[in-house]
Amino acid sequence: MKLVLATRRSNLALAQARAYAATLMRVHAGLNIEELHVVTTGDRIQDRPLQDVGGMGLFVKVIEVALLEGRADFAVHSVKDMPAALADGLTLAAIPPREDPRDVLVTRSGGGVASLEHGATVGTSSLRRSSQLLAVRADLRVVPLRGNVDTRLRKVKEGVVEAIVLAHAGLVRMALDKEASEILSTETMLPAIGQGALGIECRADDARTTALLAATEDAATRVAVTAERAFMRQVGGSCQLPLAALCERRGADMLVRAMLAEPDGTRARFDSRTAAWPADMGAALALAEELGRTLGDALA
């Protein structure tokens, strides 16, 4: 039995796609997986911020075409790269257990946010990250910086910037977590929608592949991603808006926190909602959707 996996060619994309494929083959004995490497618009355009060249979906759309055309059976995405709506005919067949959703700071000195000199240059093209970072250190100079993880780490080492902000999950998946100078608390930096989670996408009418992928599903991560993406949809989320959300289980409760700022990063506002986490999966998903939408209405 063979499946074709569509993936980007960056080191991070390959690392997480291959790790997931290995898990899937452990679950299903006799399954073989071939890779189809796809170059997305986001990979080709590296000299401009995402919000200037089309926003969310730049790392996803070409891969979705490969799925719809039958050149691949499934794809492994970072949920944070996925637009609010999937292409018609596709489904998120599985969301496996989430890696750490937090962001990290990587600095030349090895120190954290507090150690950065006045006016230090921090590279990030994320409006979400720059808005929250400047709320903590208004003196910092944030400059646009695109590129894959390796490229951005090199920019720090070369002194192009004093620091960068990255997803901890990406560093962990690439075995580069030792590069992190400081893991930023979610009180300092709320993560991107779905950060740390993988979305496993396939054709909605492909019952065989859907069933195979579903064996890797993690219920708690599905609920969390549902809440965060509901918030994103409610505010019309895109790369043009600095927004963040995180759904967590706190004891017996579901806690959803969210942030929304103006397109220029100003007027960042935060809110949260808490409710008892239902034992029934259907009820938990419905509650997650409701809390996410409610937060969207409150902050929009």
DSSP, res 88:
T
Reduced to 3 states (helix: H, G, I; strand: E, B; else coil), residue 34 is strand
Question: Which residues on adjacent β-strands are paired with residue 107?
Answer: 163
Handedness of CA 131, 136, 138, 142 (dihedral sign): negative
Q: Which amino acid is at 224?
A: A
CA pair distance 204, 88, nearest whole angstrom: 9
Q: State the catalytic residue, choosing from 81, 88, 264, 271.
A: 81
Residue of 236, 290, 245, 240 whose CA lies nearest to 270: 245
155: enclosing H helix or E strand: helix 149-157
Residue 283 tokens, joined: 């009820």
CA pair distance 172, 56, nearest whole angstrom: 24
The reply to whether 88 belongs to the active site is no
Strand segments, DSSP code E, in 133-268 are: 141-143, 163-167, 182-183, 198-203, 243-250, 253-260
Quickly count helices (H) and strands (E) in the chain: 9, 13
CA pair distance 186, 192, nearest whole angstrom: 11
Angle among Cα 124, 125, 127 to the nearest 5 degrees reads 100
Contact between 123 and 131 (Cβ < 8 Å): no
Which residues are the active-site residues? 81
